[in-house]
């Protein structure tokens, strides 16, 4: 199949989100005068995953993850203040997944490259701009700016309107998330490539699976 557009998810597909997240959480605890403990991180992950699942359905705001975290660990802190600081710290985390920069350099010029992310503009844009892949990405689609999020059809409608409504069979959706990237792409009639470094299993009819980003080069021929 000859694709004209490759749509990449951002976090955990191109960006090393766990690294950025862990540092941002520790820095923010320290900035508000609280001691940070390593066991706070898995508790945060639990609440963050829950909140982002609900966010995809438009049910909550990202602030809710800190309310839940503080209630769980017995910390008296202002979630609003903490969230603003955390997002500023997270925006500094532009570390990439191994191989991401080289793969995008090889694909740039052969395909149009787009970034499709459920996230906040004040976090995602600074990270992209300070990274080596920023100049390689032709279009950036951030859910907060668009008023819709993956996996909704409304989100992909906005993406396709912006890229000139190419035939859907010419667009490949690449990402790690089954619930937003793969499900969204499948429902929209796109070919999908599941970035699955942990070798998990799924019943979703994804078009391709890769365990390392470098496999994209061979897959695309």
Q: Which residues are catalytic?
A: 9
User: How many Cβ atoms from other residues are within 10 Å of residue 49's Cβ?
Assistant: 11
Query: Please, are residues 29 and 36 in contact by the beta-carbon 8 Å criterion?
Result: yes
The position carrying tokens 């955990």 is 12
Q: What is the DSSP letter of 62?
A: T
Q: Are 31 and 136 in contact (CB under 8 A)?
A: no
In the three-class reduction of DSSP (H, G, I as helix; E, B as strand; rest coil), residue 43 is classed as: helix
Torsion of CA 56, 148, 20, 103, to 10 degrees: 110
Phi, psi of 76 (to 5 degrees): -100, 100
Report the alpha-carbon distance of residue 52 to residue 55 in Å, rounded: 5
């Amino acid at each position: 199949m000859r694709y004209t557009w490759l749509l990449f998810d951002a976090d955990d597909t191109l960006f090393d989100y766990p690294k950025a997240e862990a540092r941002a959480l520790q820095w923010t605890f320290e900035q508000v005068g609280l001691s940070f403990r390593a066991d706070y991180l898995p508790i945060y992950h639990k609440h963050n995953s829950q909140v982002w699942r609900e966010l995809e359905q438009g049910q909550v705001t990202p602030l809710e993850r800190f309310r839940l975290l503080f209630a769980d660990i017995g910390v008296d802190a202002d979630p609003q203040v903490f969230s603003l600081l955390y997002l500023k710290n997270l925006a500094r985390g532009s570390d990439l997944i191994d191989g991401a920069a080289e793969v995008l350099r090889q694909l740039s010029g052969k395909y149009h490259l787009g970034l499709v992310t459920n996230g906040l503009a004040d976090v995602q844009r600074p990270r992209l701009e300070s990274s080596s892949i920023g100049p390689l990405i032709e279009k950036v689609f951030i859910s907060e700016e668009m008023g819709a999020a993956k996996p909704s059809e409304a989100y992909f409608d906005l993406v396709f309107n912006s890229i000139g409504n190419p035939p859907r069979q010419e667009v490949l959706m690449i990402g790690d998330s089954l619930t937003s990237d793969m499900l969204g792409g499948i429902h929209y009639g796109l070919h999908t490539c599941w970035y699955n470094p942990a070798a998990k299993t799924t019943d979703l009819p994804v078009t391709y699976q890769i365990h390392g980003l470098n496999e994209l080069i061979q897959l695309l021929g």
